[in-house]
Structures are given as structure tokens and as C-alpha cells.
Amino acid sequence: MNQFFKIEEFSCGYPGRFVLDNISFEIEKGQFVGIIGPNGSGKATLFKGISGELPTMSGNSKLNGQHIQKLSLREKDQTIAVVTQNIEVGNMTVEEYVLMGRMPYRKQFQFFETTDDFAIAEKYIQLTGISELRDKNMNALSGGEQQLAGIARALTQEPQLLLLDEPTSHLDITHQVQILNLIRRLSENLGLTVLMIIHDLNLAGEYCDSLIMMQKGAMRKKGTPHEVLNYEDIEAVYDTVVITRTNPVSGKPVVFLVSEKTMKKV
């Protein structure tokens, strides 16, 4: 097994308020891993710790054998790309926005993009299917289109690890499936390692290779969707009654909610 990304006894957070407790897990190269858990469980804090937005309090994180904490900001931006839930857009076109992904590769006193920069940006504009949007202003795009542009920009950084913070949370089912199908293809075809925060348990179960379940600042469980998405763990973590079954077509786990009204009838 190639432990491409590894976290050992990792802690970070906000001392006196909320701290992640002793997180350890490993991810193979090219895996698509989802992080699940209720609000306040530590998902976003873990992301900020991995990306370096929050300082590491103890433990370490390694990517392809390198200590992430020891990387310079430039090296980190060449290694890890982050797509946030809400894409911050300025007054620029989609192409200009995507090209910003080449910033970590600019040399001193280089003020303009190179031919290679344009070629790399074009590659991922095409791959994410947003070529028809290239001349549109980012502010004029829908939420789903902005997410695709955000992914294209992140890929233009040519990272080894892609972090996605709830990329489908505000999107309709069409855009949710479009984006998750894209991420699945990137993982499989480019060998890209993906770590994604996701709230929808059914989407997590359908698309991810493995899941990490967070609970109150600790990792409760890591495993395949079938190992993690069982009613015992879900009810314990989310404090909600659920029923779990298997999708007859994909063979992946499906989670059904049970309303209070229905429960009263049982």
C-alpha cells in the first residue's frame, strides 16, 4: 500500500475553544476520500490544519514523504490546492481567474504568464468543460459554474493533493452530479489524490473510495463507505434515526431518514 498522504497524531485548532484531538489516518495516491460529520465535528478545522491556515499544535502531516509543515508557502501552493465552498471572485474573466493558479510558479520579477502557463490553464479549462465560459465575468456565473472554475484554477496549480470544502453544498442535483463525476474522473485518470468535505451522506457513499467520520473533534471511524455508513455509527454521530440499505445498481450504501411523524407510527 502506498501511503501517499499520512497524518500522525495530528492536532490543531483554536486553543481554549476547539481543538482537533490526535487525528491519524493514511490515504493512498489517487484515492477520493470524503470527510463527513455534523456541524462542529471538526471537518473544516482539519482542512485548515492540513493546508496550513491553522498552525499544527502536535503531530505531523506528510505528503509523498515530505513534511507539509516544513514546506515554504510557495512549495505548499505547488503541492496542495484548495477549493472553498464559496468561491471568491473579483472583476475578472474565467480565463484570468483560472490562470491565477499559476501564481506559485512565477519567477522573481515575472509579471506575465508564459506560453506554458496558458497551455496548462487551457488544458484544465477544457477538462472541466468550461471553455465556453472563458470570456465571461466570474460574477456572472452560476454557483455550479463558479465551482467548476474553482476546480480548474486549483488543477492549474498542478497539485499532488486537492482539498475540496463542500463543493456541492449549495447546488442542485444536476450540478452536484456533474461536479462529483468530474472529481471522480480526475482521481481515476490523473491519479489525483482528493480529500473532500461533504455533508450529503448518499453522495459521499456513492462517489468516495473511503470515508472519514468526524465526531466532536476526533476521528470516529475511517473505512469504505459500507464500513462507515451503517445506522449504528450514523445515529451515534448525528443523533438522528436512519435506515441504511444498498443501492441495487451501484452496490453502494444508501441512507434513508425517518421523520418524527413516521417514528410515532412505528
Q: What's the CATH code of the domain at 117?
A: 3.40.50.300
Tens-digit pLDDT string for the chain (266 aa): 467 999 999 999 998 889 998 899 999 999 999 999 999 999 999 999 988 888 889 999 999 888 888 888 888 888 999 998 877 777 899 999 999 999 888 777 666 678 899 999 999 999 999 999 999 999 999 989 999 999 999 999 999 999 999 988 888 999 999 999 999 999 999 899 999 999 999 999 999 999 999 999 999 999 999 999 999 999 999 999 999 999 999 999 999 998 888 888 87
Cα–Cα distances in Å, from 199 out to 95, 106, 214, 229, 241? Answer: 30, 36, 12, 13, 16
The predicted structure's pLDDT at residue 86: 79
Alpha-helical segments (H) within the chain: 43-51, 73-79, 94-99, 115-127, 143-156, 173-190, 201-207, 225-228, 231-238, 260-265
- What string of DSSP letters covers 66-97? EEGGGS-HHHHHHHEEEE-SS----S-BHHHH
Looking at the structure of the chain, the number of domains it has is: 1
* Residues in CB range of 102: below 8 A, 6 or more apart: 113, 117, 120, 121, 156, 157
Q: pLDDT for 154-208, tens place per residue?
A: 999 999 999 999 988 888 999 999 999 999 999 999 899 999 999 999 999 999 9
Cα–Cα distances in Å, from 64 out to 26, 30, 70, 134? Answer: 11, 12, 13, 34
Cα–Cα distances in Å, from 159 out to 53, 85, 163, 213, 226? Answer: 17, 19, 10, 25, 29
**Cα separation of 216 and 233, whole Å?**
14
Give me the residues paired with residue 67 across strands: 62
The answer to whether 20 and 11 have CB atoms below 8 angstroms apart is yes
Tell me the pTM: 0.91
**Cα separation of 186 and 166, whole Å?**
17
* Residues in CB range of 16: below 8 A, 6 or more apart: none
The answer to whether 11 and 59 have CB atoms below 8 angstroms apart is yes
Q: Which domain holds residue 61?
A: 3-265
